[in-house]
């Protein structure tokens, strides 16, 4: 058998002081990076459960990863069916990288996350962007969307409400949108807390719906079928919250077969993880623009820099080595 070795690093990267996740300020991002060596081949993969969104804690993920890596070094398969989503994704990604099966080319043109009525980050080649709604009144949100689309005639928008609205508030938002603006909304993610309310809102307003949190919850069920989430125009696939690369790929193929679009999106991974997600998006969804515009929330990158980013790069060898074999 080819000689195998593995290392597990814990990283800590500083975040912008204004980052708020689920009502809490996030001052640093913690996660793990797996390094595999199999003969002359090597690869990296990131395991980054996200507090408030992932069911598993970073400590639980690290313990599970160590057990899987110890088994792999001894000759066992690396990825098992009962792994936490973040562990399954990180290990399946490093396995692909180590085997040379992850294409080098990536989709590094992502949909920027806009914060105002006009945004300096927008360039003429941007045709699609993302806007968070549900943080102001529905009328204010609609006004912001109207003004953005008026200022950029070639732009289309993905909206994300994070389940912020009651059904009546969602309807207020739709009523304040101009018809021209409504026609340029690609989809709105999770407008209401209850999936049935989101479906009803989409049907009544004509605004296409995308599943995000609902998808993450549904895939955990043993009898899950994507057909159970019919009525939406798209799914947002966050691999660190979904599972292995193989599971994400199967989900994307099922969505395409059902007539739904799919978008790969980030869960605040480091630059290392983001670059791999960009490569995965280009591989599985070559015509799709991924939602990976989260690097600007960091104050440093990790090992693999994002093309064009000027943020300083911290090396993996400067992080904490927590396990090796």
The span from the CA of 103 to the CA of 193, in Å, is 38
Q: Are 210 and 158 in contact (CB under 8 A)?
A: yes
Pairing, β 28-38 against β 4-14: antiparallel
The span from the CA of 104 to the CA of 279, in Å, is 6
Dig out the tokens for 38 from the structure: 């199999």
What SS3 state is found at 146? helix
The span from the CA of 49 to the CA of 56, in Å, is 7
Catalytic residue flag (residue 132):
yes
Q: Give the dihedral of Cα atoms 114, 236, 208, 290; nearest 10 deg.
A: 50
Catalytic residue flag (residue 144):
no
Task: Tell me which H or E stretch contains 184.
Answer: none
Handedness of CA 309, 85, 63, 58 (dihedral sign): positive
In 158-316, alpha helices (H) = 167-176, 179-182, 195-205, 213-218, 239-242, 245-257, 271-284
Of these residues, 7, 24, 144, 238, which one is catalytic? 238
Q: Are 55 and 61 in contact (CB under 8 A)?
A: no
The span from the CA of 293 to the CA of 14, in Å, is 17
Of these residues, 132, 144, 220, 256, which one is catalytic? 132
From 253, 242, 190, select the one nearest 218 (Cα to Cα): 242
Cite the active site residues: 132, 238
């Amino acid at each position: 058998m080819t000689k195998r070795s593995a290392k597990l690093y814990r990283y800590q990267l500083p975040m912008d002081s204004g980052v708020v996740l689920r009502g809490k300020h996030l001052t640093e991002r913690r996660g793990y990076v797996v390094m595999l060596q199999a003969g002359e081949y090597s690869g990296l993969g990131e395991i980054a459960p996200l507090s408030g969104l992932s069911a598993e804690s970073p400590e639980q993920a690290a313990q599970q990863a160590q057990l899987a890596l110890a088994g792999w070094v001894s000759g066992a398969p690396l990825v098992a069916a009962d792994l936490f989503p973040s562990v399954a994704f990180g290990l399946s990604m490093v396995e692909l990288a180590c085997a040379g099966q992850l294409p080098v080319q990536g989709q590094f043109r992502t949909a920027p996350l806009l914060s105002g009525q006009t945004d300096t980050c927008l360039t003429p080649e941007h045709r699609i962007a993302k806007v968070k709604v549900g943080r102001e009144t529905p009328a204010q949100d609609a006004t912001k969307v109207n003004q953005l689309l008026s200022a950029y005639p070639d732009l289309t928008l993905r909206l994300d409400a994070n389940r912020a609205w009651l059904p009546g508030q969602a309807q207020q938002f739709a009523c304040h949108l101009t018809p021209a603006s409504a026609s340029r909304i690609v989809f709105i993610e999770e407008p209401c807390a209850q999936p049935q309310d989101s479906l009803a809102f989409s049907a009544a307003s004509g605004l296409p719906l995308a599943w995000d949190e609902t998808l993450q919850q549904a895939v955990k069920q043993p009898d899950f079928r994507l057909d159970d989430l019919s009525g939406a125009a798209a799914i947002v696939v966050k691999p660190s919250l979904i599972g292995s690369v193989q599971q994400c790929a199967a989900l994307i193929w099922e969505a395409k077969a059902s007539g739904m679009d799919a978008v790969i999106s980030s869960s605040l991974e480091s630059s290392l993880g983001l670059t791999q997600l960009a490569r995965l998006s280009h591989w599985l969804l070559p015509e799709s623009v991924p939602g990976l515009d989260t690097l600007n929330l960091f104050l440093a990158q990790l090992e693999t820099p994002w093309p064009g980013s000027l943020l300083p790069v911290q090396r993996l060898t400067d992080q904490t080595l927590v396990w090796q074999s």
